[in-house]
Structure 1
Amino acid sequence: MPPINEAPEPSGQVADAVRGNWVDHIAPEWSRPYLRLSRADRPIGTWLLLLPCWWGLLLAMLHDGRMGLFDAWIGLGCAIGAFLMRGAGCTWNDITDRHIDGSVARTRSRPIPSGAVSVRGALLWMAAQALVSLVILLTFPPAAILLGVLSLAPVCIYPFAKRFTWWPQVFLGLAFNWGALLAWTAHTGSLSWQAVLLYVTGICWTIFYDTIYAHQDAEDDALIGVKSTARLFGDNSAKWLRGFLALTLIGFAICVNGATDVPARIVALLGVVAMGVHMLWQLRQFDPEDDAILLRLFRSNRNAGLLPVLFFACALLM
């Protein structure tokens, strides 16, 4: 029985879903298992996939000093594509992890292990999301299209990484930050070393936030033999996180330093500083034994990643 005056949780709600999310309360009943499979009830993943795209686009514009109407489409197309490809990637992840997810307290309520969606239904749903993403990708320049196709490699490999390496967060970073390369190339027509450095910088950030996230599952992962940086770092996690925080800020600072306009460069650097302050706050709050804090800190990286976006956009308007 739920407490008096408290509504019961929606049927089929996933354990770590955002409470009051639109999927569980507004979406049609028939669509909810599939939207949950895409993590639409947990939007942080879409943000973490999208933010590197916007970093790449904005920094490319700061570097060459030009912007146009097509850049607005790149930004919007990346946003739609991030939602769809995050959904397709999560669906693929849940298909490959369906036996593991059933053994972990936080994930056994997901649609496939709970029986809400069949494997065949999940495969069809994944294909539908990927096809719509492809339509968007085909509106970009040829070099960006090629990068978009190549991005499927890390997406496909990531779900298996925790089976063969203690660093699956690196493989997540390879997949989640690919948008920095793609958006940069969509604007400029080619890659540069700054875009590659931004990609590596994003991977360091991913290791930072996903190590925090992985501490929620450390005990269950140890029981079933799943590897992660949270288990690898153990009691030294805070020290490792501090190191990846430093690498993130150094990489960002070098990328920003190539901006053509000096005042714009200073404003952009302030965005890097603001992100660093947010990440330091996360470190001060970090408690590997408190799952509620770990989840809150992980989700707060949306705001951490938006700070450079805000400052980079302001720098462009100068």
Structure 2
Amino acid sequence: MTGQPSTPEPEGQVSDAVRGNWVDHTAPAWSRPYLRLSRADRPIGTWLLLLPCWMGLLLAMLSDNRATWQDLWIAVGCAAGAFLMRGAGCTWNDITDRDFDAKVERTRSRPIPSGQVSVKGAAAWMGLQALIACGILLTFNTSAILLGVLSLLPVAIYPFAKRFTWWPQVFLGIAFNWGALLAWTAHTGSLGVPAVVLYLAGISWTLFYDTIYAHQDTEDDALIGVKSTARLFAEKTGQWLQGFLIATVALMGIAVVLAAIGRSPLSLVIALGGVWAMGWHMQWQLRQLDTEDNDRLLMLFRANRDTGLIPLLFFAGALFL
């Protein structure tokens, strides 16, 4: 007897999309190419952009021991803004990288190189997402608005970084962790040292998870001349990732201590416990790492949603003590 035939993949599905995602199965057909441009079928990027925002907000609340209804809106606004700006940033990335993407096995199925969306259509979609995100940003205080506008600079530069540096992941970290600065400022009205240290911790964390992600494309990247930390570190990747793990935990621990000065000792211990648990989750990823297994690399990259949720839960617990 023959087995049951496998369910055919939805037309236009991107190769590394989450199987069974809502975009490919329930979204209106006309909207799917644009939602794929925004990576709505691959939500991990939205999480990785959002989590530093929520970390910055919770540390700001810990710092001044104050929580208001405005903080709820900041949290919701950051979530919506992360979805929209991640979508706009990915659309910009796909516009600038369309020729590279057509030459890489994992990315040639993306909407622009596969012909699902024109460059003009993608540009219009990027502008619409950015415009809606701007409307949300304008509900925050002036300092946060200025930071939000300034964040467009690293977002614009990042797609080109792989052309001129072996460290494009640094530029991704600068862009992806900006929310830690913005959310802190949206709560407090001004930028603080704990937020800056948290931001640096986030950049180190990004170097950790995006190096794992970049190992999926090392062969294709070498052929087309694209640089990455995965290619740079090569067989020493594990050692470098261990260093990024240590830096992430150390910097985030310092940020917690600076933010929680004046809180009860129990509150500080719980918040630091979240940092410790995050470090162990990253250590688990290192133990599972196999740079030759693309399925495992993608699984570990996606696991960083949980990596970032762990300290958030502890920070929230510390806030109410």
Q: Could you tell me the TM-score, scaled by structure 1's length?
A: 0.99
Number of the residue aligned with 1:256: 256
Distance 2:159 2:290 in 1: 26
Number of the residue aligned with 1:233: 233
Superposed counterparts of 1:97-136, under 5 Å: 97-136=97-136
Number of the residue aligned with 1:310: 313
Number of the residue aligned with 1:265: 268
Number of the residue aligned with 2:209: 209
Number of the residue aligned with 2:34: 34
Distance 1:118 1:172 in 2: 25
Superposed counterparts of 1:177-196, under 5 Å: 177-196=177-196
Give yes or no for the alignment of 1:169 onto 2:172: no
Q: Deviations over 1:293-314 (max 9, x none)?
A: 0000000000000001111011
Letter of the 1:269 partner, please give it: L
Deviation at 1:263, TM superposition (A): 1.5
Letter of the 1:187 partner, please give it: H
Q: Deviations over 1:214-236 (max 9, x none)?
A: 00000000000000000000000
3-state secondary structure, aligned to 2:277? helix
Number of the residue aligned with 1:293: 296
Superposed counterparts of 1:89-104, under 5 Å: 89-104=89-104
Q: Deviations over 1:251-278 (max 9, x none)?
A: 0110111203121111111100110110
Of 47-56 and 262-271, the range deviating more from structure 2: 262-271
Number of the residue aligned with 1:88: 88
Number of the residue aligned with 1:274: 277
Aligned residues: percent identity?
70
Distance 1:51 1:5 in 2: 40
Q: 1:3 to 1:33 in 2, by over 3 A?
A: farther
Deviation at 1:7, TM superposition (A): 1.4
Distance 1:57 1:253 in 2: 16
3-state secondary structure, aligned to 1:257? helix
Distance 1:3 1:227 in 2: 44
Deviation at 1:6, TM superposition (A): 2.5
Distance 2:217 2:115 in 1: 22
Distance 1:265 1:221 in 2: 44
Q: 1:3 to 1:147 in 2, by over 3 A?
A: farther
Q: Could you tell me the TM-score, scaled by structure 2's length?
A: 0.98
Distance 1:317 1:129 in 2: 36
Q: 1:3 to 1:205 in 2, by over 3 A?
A: farther
Q: Deviations over 1:33-72 (max 9, x none)?
A: 0000000000000000000000000001111111111001
Two-structure CA RMSD over aligned residues (Å): 0.9
Q: 1:70 to 1:219 in 2, by over 3 A?
A: same
Distance 2:159 2:319 in 1: 38
Number of the residue aligned with 2:73: 73
Number of the residue aligned with 2:197: 197
Distance 1:3 1:67 in 2: 57
Deviation at 1:15, TM superposition (A): 0.2
Deviation at 1:3, TM superposition (A): 6.4
Give the aligned length.
Answer: 317
Distance 1:5 1:229 in 2: 41
Distance 1:97 1:82 in 2: 21
Deviation at 1:21, TM superposition (A): 0.2
Deviation at 1:4, TM superposition (A): 2.1
Number of the residue aligned with 1:57: 57
Q: Deviations over 1:101-149 (max 9, x none)?
A: 0000000000000000000000000000000000000000000000000
Task: Give structure 1 stretches of 5+ with no counterpart.
Answer: none
Give yes or no for the alignment of 1:144 onto 2:147: no
Of 138-147 and 249-258, the range deviating more from structure 2: 249-258
Letter of the 1:44 partner, please give it: I
Of 186-195 and 90-99, the range deviating more from structure 2: 186-195
Of 263-272 and 119-128, the range deviating more from structure 2: 263-272
Deviation at 1:249, TM superposition (A): 0.1
Distance 1:135 1:272 in 2: 34
Distance 1:141 1:112 in 2: 37
Distance 1:107 1:6 in 2: 23
